[in-house]
Structure 1
């Protein structure tokens, strides 16, 4: 059995097995410097309790098989600042925001701020560059619901001597005032957030989730918000009960989310798991999502932000993760006005989400909204109601049900018209689908350039539910539909197996070229 080091800090190492399994595998032991650290079954696993600036040897053992020994050296760490020494109580009663913030502000370069066992009520904490924030096992940062005491990040602050503005807050693709998040990073770099602790927003329907469509002083906070940050790694922690999106990297680069749990009630409002927005080089690996909205939603702003900054989300790589009980397992859009490029999802498990692989866009996202290089491969879908959905008529905006957005007639292509260039689905098994195998529609005036299904199999649940596959006008409730595909220039079907649909296997309209082959 082979593995490699995925991440190493001063006191943690994360390994990834080099096997074909998805998310979990047969149990194995991890040995570090000749000592057993435990028995594990996940493909990506973090080991803690290491010492800084130290040589280590790590080996994996399964039954009578042992891996080669891999050596690594932990990062140096000059000092640890314990938040208890700065006055934090950790008793679940006192507001510990100021004490923890003081420790962060006093942290020297490459040092560690330690949050030991305990419950620490906080509003919002602001990171600084070149630091480690560690939450030990049974340490909980517990969100305080108090809109009057929570800082606000202004959406736009005009510069004094030049055109333009300083953007801090964001809400659903626009520069709008929002509350600072439990962990907020503004123009920081080289930060690790790690440990076995918990970030608990403590949101519920009596506080943050009440009146979710209303702006009350400002829009709801996230759990981790990274605005123009670089080289940030979050590893090992659990994030739960967020007021809104859980993880929101925004105009950031080199962001990693590794070996995490992200969870919230299935009926919670806007609690997306991870939403990279206008980001580059984002890695999501070994993360279990179970949330009330999209597990992952890749974005690049609405048309104002897309036209002004033209920063797409690109080089987003997602693997060895489990998406469970959300609206969409992995979604591109709908706030996608600057486009996306090189989106690669592989070796993931989707369970009981409403939709599996989901692209949502609409007229009005703009000509800079070009979606290309989207590849989903080596995936397992179980109980997903609509496994493949591409919707160019997405109506969940204030103007989403207008004639302009919803008409199926071809309109003139102009500066408001988005484009989908290429989407590929490869080596995917879908079991127990409900509404359909796929529901895919491009715009009639700007058809999807290239759509590929390669080695894809779909079966349906014995008692398949009836529902609406795509949030678009004219999409009626259905059950056991085959592949419904419209407005595509080039459709390639290779080794596509559909078993148990009601009616036609392929329901095509406005598809110019079809290539179908079975080996």
Structure 2
């Protein structure tokens, strides 16, 4: 192993620790399983074998000194934080036989001082939406299932704006009424949701998937976890599945960590993106395994509101050691990006059978910029197109209009989106179906700073020609290399592939 390896603590609570085994060069799995042990007061408290670059340990005791030892790493010494209260939901009336435990959970949370643990014990606990508060650790240990009820009547509605006039809920980048999520946190600091349990969003049990783009009773579908204006949000160890729409949606959040999760939605569930950080900063996504019905990770920054408000930017996003299976895209930026998305790093990830690997999508009228995006040291296997950049994405009712789709230069103004400094490097793309890269800029705002280098590419023998992205007039491609249009001086070097397939479209 490299001398730069280290045990990087990501989430530490009174009863749980999630770490990253950083610097190994591994992607979503370690090359060789490693033994580990947890020691306290000179005795082994736990031990085992880790096969992935993330590890979650639960069953810790508050206020205790521990040492975590992993083969080939320096030991990590840590002290679990104190716990102000331990609150078992059963003590507030929660029952496995109850049709809806939302009131019991709310009663338990109401008693929780800052620094408390809300304990959801092993068992299946049905609930409607639950609202979290600052300083709370929601602990779902192995065997615990928080199961969303299917009755839409049990879901309160979040108004587009709160009483203070600030945005409270959103849908596809603009304020809108939405049903409250299974777990909802608004204006909350230092909330942690963690453990080896399960949160089931109940998507298949209700009617949520029958109306993906509509409203019912005046509101849009809920997420499974929604956080608005939260700081230091941390979610780790859990399996989160069966989401009604987007699975995890942080909006206007700062300093969030999502680690060692399984996000699992059926492949035919509509718009069930895995993780959608929107208008948020300083986000870490580490060791998450995605298999979803839409994009695995969709990084967004809203759309210009009807009153002309430009949403806040998204910046400083780090994606590491993730596995992304199926889905429309592995890591997707946009199409809601009016506030700008910058400084995104995707490294040491694996993408399997996603329609695209790294995908950037926008259109005239969105404004904002996408800049300083780097994907490196990844493996893509069976993807349609490894890098897709589309400035003519046909979203919204006018998406196929001439104003959006015309390839002639349009006037440049504040609503002209800009794309710059996109890097794809040191990555192996196996069994590509359509193209290694398809990059389409605007004639009036060409893409600059595109770099594709040190790539190894092979093509799927059973590939069928298809368009690389969603815009009018794109060619159907099979086994194409790198195709660019309206891109200024791209840097393309070190590409190992069967044929010379790098060209600029006329």
* TM-score after normalising by structure 1: 0.93
Aligned to 2:19: 15
CA separation of 1:11/1:158 partners in 2, compared to 1, >3 Å: closer, same or farther?
Answer: closer
Could you tell me whether the CA contact under 8 Å between 1:306 and 1:338 is conserved in 2? no
Aligned to 1:311: 312
Aligned to 1:516: none
Equivalent residue for 1:89, pick from 89, 95, 99: 95
Could you tell me whether the CA contact under 8 Å between 2:151 and 2:206 is conserved in 1? no
Matched, 1:430 2:429: yes
CA apart distance, 1:303: 1.7
Equivalent residue runs for 1:462-477 within 5 Å: 462-477=461-476
Aligned to 2:58: 48
Aligned to 1:447: 446
Question: In structure 2, what is the Cα distance between the partners aligned to 1:139 and 1:233?
Answer: 18
Aligned to 1:107: 112
Question: In structure 2, what is the Cα distance between the partners aligned to 1:295 and 1:469?
Answer: 18
Aligned to 1:320: 321
Aligned to 2:420: 421
Equivalent residue runs for 1:323-334 within 5 Å: 323-334=324-335
Aligned to 1:259: 260
Aligned to 2:123: 118
When you count strand as a share of all residues, which structure comes out higher?
Answer: 1
**Consecutive unaligned residues in structure 2, runs of 5 or more:** none
Could you tell me whether the CA contact under 8 Å between 1:274 and 1:296 is conserved in 2? yes
Aligned to 1:77: 83
CA apart distance, 1:206: 5.9
Could you tell me whether the CA contact under 8 Å between 1:3 and 1:15 is conserved in 2? no
Aligned to 2:200: 200
> How many residues are paired up?
495
Could you tell me whether the CA contact under 8 Å between 1:32 and 1:57 is conserved in 2? yes
Could you tell me whether the CA contact under 8 Å between 1:297 and 1:333 is conserved in 2? yes
Could you tell me whether the CA contact under 8 Å between 1:305 and 1:337 is conserved in 2? no
Matched, 1:146 2:151: yes
Deviations 1:275-314 (A, max 9, x none): 0000010110010010000000110111228952441100
Question: In structure 2, what is the Cα distance between the partners aligned to 1:122 and 1:408?
Answer: 51
Aligned to 1:517: none
Equivalent position SS for 1:389: strand
Aligned to 2:174: 174
**Consecutive unaligned residues in structure 1, runs of 5 or more:** 160-164, 511-519
Equivalent residue runs for 1:210-359 within 5 Å: 210-217=210-217, 218-304=219-305, 307-359=308-360
Could you tell me whether the CA contact under 8 Å between 1:306 and 1:337 is conserved in 2? no
* TM-score after normalising by structure 2: 0.95
| 439-448 vs 469-478, which moves further | 469-478
Question: In structure 2, what is the Cα distance between the partners aligned to 1:97 and 1:354?
Answer: 38
CA separation of 1:375/1:307 partners in 2, compared to 1, >3 Å: closer, same or farther?
Answer: farther
